[in-house]
Every structure is written in C-alpha cells, then in structure tokens.
Amino acid sequence: MAKKSKKRFEVRDNETIDQCLNRISKEGYIPVRRAEEPIFQEVIDNGESNLEPVGRTIVFHAVKG
C-alpha cells in the first residue's frame, strides 16, 4: 500500500480559516489535524537572552485525498 503524502498548510496573514481550507481542497488535500503554534521573539533583558511569545499561527496538517 502506497503511503499518502502529507503537507502543512499555514493560515496566511490576510486569510481566513475558510479560505485556507478552500486552498487545501483545491490542491487535492484533506485536512486531518489543526494546530496552533506560538510565534516567539528574542528579548534581551539585562544582557540575558529570552524568548517570549508574541503571537500564534494556525497550521493544518493534510494528506493527499
């Protein structure tokens, strides 16, 4: 049995979730998982480097349909 190919789709800045799902469908993929991933920014405080969350991005994991 052939393994299905997988792909990650990130919701773009000026794109709704529905628009992203339509893009996934047009490329012939089926979403199987939704994840929210944090976006970090490096902040230097008193000479010490720290990563602080500044936002999040929504990512869909999809398989070829």
Structure pTM?
0.76
Cα 56 to Cα 65: distance, rounded to the nearest angstrom: 28
Q: What is the pLDDT of residue 45?
A: 86
Q: Mind listing the pLDDT tens digit of every residue in the chain (65 residues)?
A: 456 699 999 999 999 999 999 999 999 999 999 999 999 999 998 889 999 999 999 999 999 98
Q: What is the pLDDT of residue 65?
A: 83
Taking CA atoms, 60 is separated from 49, 52, 54, 56, in Å, by 31, 24, 20, 13
Q: Dump the DSSP string for 26-48.
A: HTTEEEEEEEEEEEEEEEEETTE
Which residues lie across from 45 on neighbouring strands? 48
Full strand arrangement of the beta sheet holding 29-45? 6-10, 48-64, 29-45
